Structure 1
Amino acid sequence: MTTSQTRGEATDIAAATRSVVRIVVFSSIDGQRTLIGHGSGVAVSADKVITNAHVVDSARIDESVTFTVIPTEGNATYKARLVAASPGKDLALLQLTQTGRLIPASFFSGIVGDGADVFSIGYPANVDIALEQSEEDVLNPTAPVKTRGSISSGRSSKSVESLLHTAPIAPGSSGGPLVDACGRVIGINSFGSTADGGGAEFYFAISVREVATFLQNLKVELNTVINECRSVAELSRAEADREAATRAKTEAEARVATELRNSREGKVRRDAEHEVIAERENHIALAGLLLILATVAGGAAWQFTEREQRERFKVAAGFGGVALISALIVFFARPSFEEVDERVRAAMTESLPQTKSQPESDDIAGTGKRRCVIQPDRSRVTISDTADVRFDWTQDGCINGRTQYVDNGGNWTRTFVPNNDAQVSVVSYAPESQTYRIERYLLGIDAMGAARASRKRYDVTSCSSDPESLGKIDNMNKAVREVLPPAPNEILVFACSVE
């Protein structure tokens, strides 16, 4: 089973707070609205919030009770109504009565490891009191309180499956999330033990399994992930090690190939040298033999002249001339030592493997459909599902015929800043390694505003290989990156293949 056990990163915990809300409870007496308490909650959709049943318990006995949901950022607050409550499980669901823009949390449905780093997020009332918060202050969006602790597994309440932990909560924190180091909700904080006699206090959160069952009965879908929580630093080190190992393997293969080629070339050169020397010796020997024959024929011709045997003289002289000329031709036709290099080149060329008419590398780099599968060991999943990604790719960086990417050292890259979702995605595709990568940044309202402003400065809406258009996209990518945090909250790495 997948476990979550790593140290938290500030950006992940900050991202988790975006889904946390304060729930303020009012009662109307003689037409006068009175604040009677507050708790915490976490958004499970844009208009639904889960909290503890005991936070909304007053609504069961007082029909005048109303709820106000206050996000951590922005200016909006929302009225809400109680949809359902389960006192035995200490869970309740609120529905906003107006269009909501809450950011749904991501829930971790795996096993939380013993001793894992965890954080409680919520609005403890004692902090409000210590800071002398007025009722008006309580009704304004405020950053929640984050406390740190660890999981003590193996202990649970008998009436409900719960997580025992040491991240402090207090009245007002009830209903807020307990999150892991990646900012994923692992439970809904509910109650704590009493520190009698100076003993330590411990706290309990309702498990995600109980939350999922409760919401499933209400036909509410929960956004869950199960992948192991890995730090960005750990993932970066692993990726660097992977790249180093790949480079080392490539270099080793290149060295072996070079050594084999050098060894092969050395043997070919030695053989070529022996062949040239042998052929030269053969030519010289044959030329010498022809020269001897020419000399003998010349002597015979002289003898025939003395005896006035003209016919025999002609034959001997002709034969001697032909032999002499042949000797000269054979001698000067002997191969030179320069032919050794030519023969080595020819032999090495013939020994190379024949290339295919349609090499695989061309298939990879060329136009066509791609299917990409998540690589869990190379990814850090905090909010997204990990379904396969499919797209149609062209060599000039156009995806699906409508979205242009720009080449960045072999990685074709595009930055996406949606108008509605509170996240920025930097997406890249490397045709050579067939790797599709998504780096996702989960930002607050101000940071998203800055990213959207940077994006809107550039009109880049369609595919085009025109240098001016590519320059705009490149500048847009750089402008958005300037306002992003140093590291993403989520990294998804996919291995692709040609469909």
Structure 2
Amino acid sequence: MILHTTRILALALSLLFAAMVPSAPAQADEADIAAAARGVVRVVIIGRDGDEIFPIAHGTGFVVAGERIVTNAHVINPAIEDKRLAIGIVPPEGGDAVYARPISVSPRNDLAILATTKPMNLPVLTIAGNPASGQSAVTAIGYPMNVDRAQGLDQNDLFRATPPVLSTGFLSGRRPSREMDTLLHTAPIARGNSGGPLVDNCGRVIGVNSFGAESEGTEAEFFFAVSTRELLPFLRANDIQPQLNALPCRSLAELDAEDEARRQQTLAAEQRRTAAAEAALAMRRDELRRDITYRTIDARTNQMALALLLFIIALAAGGTAYLMHLRADMRMRAISGSVAIVALVAALVAWLTRPAFADIENELEAALNAEQADGEAGADPGDKPSGAILSQATYSCVLDQQRSRVTSAPEQDVEIGWTAQGCVNGRTQYGLNAGDWTRVLVPSSEAAVSVNRFDPEAREYVVERYLLDRDAMSEARERRGKYEAPQCGAGDQAATQLGIDQSTVVSALPDRPNERLVYTCTLAKAGAD
């Protein structure tokens, strides 16, 4: 039961209290809150007079799994006490109202679970895995009666799909009582909000709104929500495995800023490594040039000395040949002359083949290339986290929580079997567009579009999920229906065409996704290069 008193002074005190509360770490993401609201329903207690049905009362509920709705026990208590009354579930947009039946009711902590008689295909709300704490911003989602009255809605309007009302405030801490564990907050709720979710900035449920504190006119208004300490055990006791997320709520703007800072750090580190490598190369070049220059000078000196010695021998042999000529010793003259000629030719060869200073740079480059080749040959390919793209490989990918914005309960580990033609796990063909391998998934039973990207060179897998309303989802499905995705192995042309076709769906999506999952991948098994 909501005890709601409106007083100008109380409102002023509430605003003053809100102003005194420390600012939240980040503003609520409207897209996330809107996505959560699409899983919030109106719970109507229905009476019957002959063939005519009419609403007796109503509250709020939200989807936790399949056709399972959570609400407050006191919302459906009239239908439990009077079997002539029925329970109706009205979706927030499109679709028809359906009946529901209670499958578990817990008066102690004011919780109840309903099962719808027909599938409604509404999004399941994610529940925050960690207990809420601090004084963060919160949003209450529901169907307050005073808003219905202000709009002049009649009884029949309560059976028509209507978006829920969103109200914001601050969490004021846990407030355990003798009966149950509750959260105290300042997000305004009224009669009709009972059973609706209290969500954080990422649209994750942190409590179930139940009742409000009575104001005496001069006091600030506070409201109570049953905490997830009560909700989670209740769901599990009824064999419902909720969609949990215990990660911090972070904005995409924050992640983008961190990514840019990381990119700048990586760029600066790469520049430092490049500068260090260039300095080391310059130092090594100077060392080699000095060594080669010394060797060249030594070699030139030795060959010049050899040329001089041979020239002296040639002169001596020539003089001896001349002397033997004067003595008419033809035999010795021939021998001496031959020695003189050979020595002179050898001297010329030694002189002309001496190392040239111009060859120092060529020898230097050859030495540097040889050292680089030796280094590459001795390197371990497994030391490189990325680089060459393999024609076929299996990658183990792990969610990088620091770089991800998570609003649901995604897989922490993903295995990707990849081929160079863009086939994933032997069954899903990715499209190639502007050098990026991408697959756009538009399911028929879920109000979300996923854009999956895999970069085999950087070894990174990214999933971006867009949680869309009914109209946007219908448009995405219509665009998806205009093309056929090829089977794996259809060829490069088919992959390129798929990339072009998928861009028609991507162009209709919002500027930012609700969720970005970044996976870092390592090579688990390599195929043929």
> If the length of structure 1 is used for normalisation, what is the TM-score?
0.95
Residue 218 (structure 1) aligned to one of 238, 242, 246: 238
- Superposed, which structure 2 residues align to 1:54-453 within 5 Å? 54-352=74-372, 353-355=375-377, 359-360=381-382, 365-408=390-433, 411-453=436-478
Amino acid at match of 2:139: F
CA shift for structure 1 position 98: 2.4
Stretch moving more, 361-370 or 112-121:
361-370
The answer for the alignment partner of 2:32 in structure 1 is 12
State whether residues 304 and 310 of structure 1, in contact with CA within 8 Å, keep that contact through their aligned partners in structure 2. Answer: yes
SS in 2 for 1:84: strand
SS in 2 for 1:237: helix
Please list the CA deviations of residues 352-391 of structure 1 after superposition, one character each: whole Å capped at 9, or x if unmatched: 2032698345776441211111111111111133331112
Q: Distance in 2 between matches of 1:199 and 1:304?
A: 137
CA shift for structure 1 position 270: 2.2
SS in 2 for 1:14: helix
Gaps of 5+ in 1: none
Stretch moving more, 243-252 or 159-168:
243-252
Cα gap change, 1:451/1:30 in structure 2, threshold over 3 Å: closer, same or farther?
closer
The answer for the alignment partner of 2:21 in structure 1 is none
Stretch moving more, 181-190 or 323-332:
323-332
Q: Distance in 2 between matches of 1:409 and 1:214?
A: 50
Q: Distance in 2 between matches of 1:257 and 1:264?
A: 10
Amino acid at match of 1:359: P
Q: Distance in 2 between matches of 1:288 and 1:9?
A: 90
Cα gap change, 1:241/1:357 in structure 2, threshold over 3 Å: closer, same or farther?
closer
Cα gap change, 1:336/1:388 in structure 2, threshold over 3 Å: closer, same or farther?
same
Cα gap change, 1:207/1:470 in structure 2, threshold over 3 Å: closer, same or farther?
same
1:491 aligns with 2:513: no
CA shift for structure 1 position 247: 2.3
State whether residues 121 and 176 of structure 1, in contact with CA within 8 Å, keep that contact through their aligned partners in structure 2. Answer: yes
CA shift for structure 1 position 136: 2.0
Q: How many residues in Structure 1 have an aligned counterpart in Structure 2?
A: 496
1:457 aligns with 2:482: yes
The answer for the alignment partner of 1:49 in structure 2 is 69
The answer for the alignment partner of 2:6 in structure 1 is none
State whether residues 300 and 316 of structure 1, in contact with CA within 8 Å, keep that contact through their aligned partners in structure 2. Answer: yes
CA shift for structure 1 position 78: 0.7
CA shift for structure 1 position 111: 2.9
State whether residues 108 and 224 of structure 1, in contact with CA within 8 Å, keep that contact through their aligned partners in structure 2. Answer: yes
CA shift for structure 1 position 61: 2.3
Q: Distance in 2 between matches of 1:193 and 1:264?
A: 78
SS in 1 for 2:338: helix
Please list the CA deviations of residues 130-179 of structure 1 after superposition, one character each: whole Å capped at 9, or x if unmatched: 11011222211011100001111143333111111111000001101000
Stretch moving more, 466-475 or 265-274:
466-475
Identity %: 38
Gaps of 5+ in 2: 1-23, 525-529
The answer for the alignment partner of 2:3 in structure 1 is none
CA shift for structure 1 position 258: 1.6
The answer for the alignment partner of 2:7 in structure 1 is none
Please list the CA deviations of residues 207-236 of structure 1 after superposition, one character each: whole Å capped at 9, or x if unmatched: 112111112222222111111110111111
